[in-house]
Structure 1
Amino acid sequence: MSTENQRVRTLLRAFGDDAFAQWLLPDQEHRHHVYREWFTMVLAHTATAGRVITSEDDLAVQVWLSARTGAPDMLDEAGVQRLLELAGRRAHRFREFAAMSAERHPREPHEYLALIGVDPAVQGTGVGSRELGETLRRLDADGLPSYLEASSTRSRNLYLRLGFQLLGAPITLPDEGPHLYPMWRPAQ
């Protein structure tokens, strides 16, 4: 399996069936198809607009975007259009999330952790904490703060342990969607 395919697989396994994914796209087969293409596009875009950082075995994948000159985009314009086409009648969910996320995104320069996925086979073993901790130490050395939106209370608690702070109230997605927790980490 190629490195890119392994990274997409890790992200799909980490996020493909979580509460946020189910809110976006309730049908599992459709969701996995859309997510596979979405993650492929995100990784390609990030190669020019940010950094993809992985563990040696690609079982932990971090997608970082620079927000030093404004809010970053996970996809270019063509990618956004392709994602909305793939989402079909559920495209409105992606637009709702994008609008709510953009409204809460900090304006000051920072690095944005758009995604961090750990394969379920190694979740809870410390791989994610170790990998993210190494990245955060590099950001600290450069004096750069970071921002993310935690998609569960479990991940929120992990990020709190790594020095992130809650940034206001949770983002409450409509129609009984899950809460997302905006979190900020000043450079240490």
Structure 2
Amino acid sequence: MGDLSVRQCTVADKGAVSAMLGAAFQEDPVMCFIFPDPEARRARLPGFFGVIYDGDGANGARLMTVNGEAATLWRAPGHGRLSLREKIQEAWPWVAASGSALGRALAYSGASDRHHPSEAHWYLHIAGCHPAAQRQGFGSAAIRTGLLRSDSDGVPAYLETATESNLPFYASLGFNVIGEWKVRNGPLCWSMLRKPAR
């Protein structure tokens, strides 16, 4: 078994983490909706995750296993949805990262925003593990480390997934399904919430 230690990401980790997430999400239903063409998806995803990496780093937390097998990107309470300032600041990076897929990316983002809980929460925005390292505990380690923060703050953790097979995995970490929703012409998604441990 590899080293399951988890550390905070740095600016220098952006390229490696973005590339890993690109590989991890190549067959993800949401990414397939945003980038229907497999070649475009393969080419675009690292840049796409690079924009998320920057935004979540400024407004939450970024964690990774020490050798980069898995990473989680979190948004802090009060920052689950992009502010108007962020939208303006990130407009060009999103255009550059998404290209002709920008409309679908915005459609998913808008649907996601509408389903966030009203209560304060840590948002597990992205959780990914390189395909070659899956089912070895790396993803769980990166998520559990983030959950320590939500527990410490005494607020729930929230996520959404469009991969039904992920539901038991997240349930094992304490998340419960609180809703189902669908992006127009896109995938069915599940919202999941985990209450803070006492």
* Band of TM-score, shorter chain: 0.7 to 0.9
In structure 1, the partner of 2:150 is 139
* Change over 3 Å in CA distance of 1:90–1:109 after alignment to 2: same
Task: Kindly report the root-mean-square deviation, in angstroms, between the aligned alpha carbons of the 2 structures.
Answer: 2.0
Query: In 1, Cα distance between the equivalents of 2:79 and 2:13?
Result: 30
In structure 1, the partner of 2:81 is 72
Comparing 71-80 with 105-114, greater Cα deviation is found at 71-80
TM-score when normalising by structure 1 = 0.87
- Structure 2, unaligned runs of 5 or more: 1-11
| C-alpha contact 2:48 2:98 (8 A) present in aligned 1 | no
Could you say what secondary structure the match of 1:167 adopts?
A: strand
- How much does 1:56 deviate? 0.6
Superimposed CA distance per residue, residues 13-38 of structure 1 (whole angstroms, 9 cap, x where no aligned partner): 11123222111111122223322212
Query: In 2, Cα distance between the equivalents of 1:149 and 1:122?
Result: 22
- Structure 1, unaligned runs of 5 or more: none
User: Amino acid of the residue matched to residue 91 of structure 1?
Assistant: L
2:193 corresponds to 1:179: no
Percent identity for Structure 1 against Structure 2: 25
User: Amino acid of the residue matched to residue 90 of structure 1?
Assistant: A
Comparing 88-97 with 118-127, greater Cα deviation is found at 88-97
| C-alpha contact 1:70 1:109 (8 A) present in aligned 2 | no
Query: In 2, Cα distance between the equivalents of 1:156 and 1:54?
Result: 22
User: Amino acid of the residue matched to residue 146 of structure 2?
Assistant: T
Query: In 2, Cα distance between the equivalents of 1:40 and 1:165?
Result: 29
Query: In 2, Cα distance between the equivalents of 1:130 and 1:81?
Result: 34
Q: Pick one of 117, 126, 130 that aligns with 2:137.
A: 126
In structure 1, the partner of 2:159 is 148
TM-score when normalising by structure 2 = 0.83
Superimposed CA distance per residue, residues 95-132 of structure 1 (whole angstroms, 9 cap, x where no aligned partner): 21112111111121110000001011111112212321
User: Amino acid of the residue matched to residue 62 of structure 1?
Assistant: T
Q: Pick one of 27, 50, 53 that aligns with 1:43.
A: 53
